[in-house]
Amino acid sequence: MDTPGSQSSLHRANLERVLRAVRMAGSLTQAEIARTTGLSAATVSNIVRELKEVGTVVVTPTSSGGRRARSVSLSADAGIVVGVDFGHSHLRVAVGNLAHRVLAEESEPIDTDASADQGFGRAETLVARLLEQTGFRTDKVIGVGLGVPGPIDGETGALGSTAILPGWTGIAPGRELSSRLGMPVYVDNDANLGALGELVWGAGRGLSDLAYIKVASGVGAGLVISGQIYRGPGGTAGEIGHITLDESGPVCRCGNRGCLETFVGSRHVLNLLASSHGSDLTLSRVVQLAQRGDLGCRRVLADVGRQIGTGVANLCNLLNPRRVILGGDLAEAGDLVLDPIRESVARYAIPSAARQLSVVPGTLGGRAEVLGALALVMSEMGDSGALPATEGRDSQRSVAVVPSGR
């Protein structure tokens, strides 16, 4: 048996560090692995050789800064991961491999009044269909990442109150889907998955400190600190929508008054335009109209940007992220909403923190969460399936549900 601190447990810990770094980046040169993990070049070289011999990684020649280098990535048949995302009106499923290739992806509309039972039934059918398309057997699936549009209780795994799928409150979505699919399921909220998606596949690639802000009916942020999602002990980190902007403002669904969400959430934005533009608007329609020069819509988006910017300035002072990525429908508005955010940051944040910050739109659009769900499995899966077996290790994979907020 390995005892902590023994030679073999140290070696195993190093193997896991190397594997995790490669898995989250897609591919890295050996020099980049050394930089990311803090291990010496010789140790990395030995570990890569060992992983290559057992078929866990593939090494291909590449060039880095004009010099010859060796690029290390996970073997395409090392296993596959599945992402499932329940959004405000859609169900989206993707299947990918550990080399960061998306092999199949599909989305279908879902009724917000659908019961959890109906929702999971649809997900089960869609996962089965996509797995069949890719030709992989279910025992090749390492895990399923599941995104839900509401907070997950870190202890019980239950979905907290959510405005989007009201009938689902109190259900433990990870356990539910895991028992239907017979696969390990990792679950997290949509803002955290959006952050992971953009970190691994989109506008945050190569960074280790960022915030992803999603504005829809609610407003939330996914925080990446030193390359990891920060959830806090109760899983509620990143609730930027409930920063107080006006103590005597409108009452928020959280019970407080004048929260950021009461000024920039989609319901408030659409209400502002109801008397001038009618009551059947959607947020993406407002963005479209603004881009075509509609003055009322432009004014509303500018105000929304300034108010989000106040929240971003606070975030910037507390966490000093390198980049803030705006996701959701509002991101489509581009500079119409980003410039006012930048102006507020310049006005309210500490100059040194504001100087280092860039505010950009997400590049993944509506796919950010489902790709983040794939990345969640890669980030949480551990390495038992991908490592050379050692004595005393349990090779059986168990069905585990890992709620967020641990």
Binding region for Zn ion (CB under 5 A): 242, 252, 254, 256, 259
In angstroms, what is the minimal distance from the CB of 253 to Zn ion? 6
In the three-class reduction of DSSP (H, G, I as helix; E, B as strand; rest coil), residue 66 is classed as coil
Q: Report the chain's terminal Cα–Cα distance, integer Å.
A: 27
| Spatial separation of the C-alpha atoms in residues 40 and 44, rounded to whole Å | 6
Helices (H), 323-396: 335-348, 351-355, 368-380
Are the C-beta atoms of residues 122 and 91 closer than 8 Å to each other?
yes
Nearer to Zn ion, 231 or 242 (CB): 242
**Residue nearer to Zn ion on the CB measure, 249 or 334:** 249
Tell the smallest beta-carbon distance from residue 105 to Zn ion (Å): 34
Neighbours of 405 (CB within 10 A): 20
Closest CA to 283 of 245, 369, 272, 87: 272
> Cα angle vertex 127, ends 122, 129, to 5°?
95
Rounded least distance, CB 315 to Zn ion, Å:
16
Q: Is the dihedral of CA 238, 239, 240, 241 positive or negative?
A: positive
Nearer to Zn ion, 71 or 266 (CB): 266
Give Cα 318 distance to the centre of its chain.
21
Give the residue with the Cβ less far from Zn ion, 51 or 221: 221
Which of 88, 242 has the CB closer to Zn ion?
242
CB of 322 to Zn ion, least distance (A): 28
In the complex, least distance from residue 125 CB atom to Zn ion, rounded to whole angstroms: 37
Check residue 391 and report its DSSP letter: T
Helices 295-319 + 335-348 axis angle, to 10: 40
> Which CB sits closer to Zn ion, 79 or 241?
241
Q: How far is the CB of 190 from Zn ion (least distance, A)?
A: 18
- The first and second tokens of residue 93, run together, are 């499923």
C-beta closer to Zn ion: residue 214 or 242 = 242
Alpha helices in 183-265 (DSSP H): 190-201, 260-264
Minimum distance, C-beta of residue 313 to Zn ion, in the bound complex (Å)? 18
